């Protein structure tokens, strides 16, 4: 999920260093998970 979040931040024009800093500050119990199937992605 961190890769997806980073891609979203970068596509919005956020510098890579800031995107990585924001992702690293998310504690494990608040991590988002991507669930996908043949119809699409839910998160």
* pLDDT of residue 41 exceeding 70: no
1-38 tens-digit pLDDT: 778 888 999 999 999 999 988 888 777 677 776 677 77
**Per-residue pLDDT, 18:** 92
Total Cβ atoms within 10 A of residue 22? 13
Task: Round to whole Å and give the CA distance between 31 and 36.
Answer: 16
Looking at per-residue pLDDT, the higher value among 41 and 5 belongs to 5
**Per-residue pLDDT, 42:** 60
Total Cβ atoms within 10 A of residue 7? 11
Rg (CA), the chain: 12
């Amino acid at each position: 999920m961190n890769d997806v979040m980073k891609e979203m931040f970068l596509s919005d024009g956020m510098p890579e260093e800031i995107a990585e800093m924001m992702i690293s500050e998310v504690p494990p119990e608040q991590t988002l998970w991507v669930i996908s199937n043949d119809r699409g992605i839910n998160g």
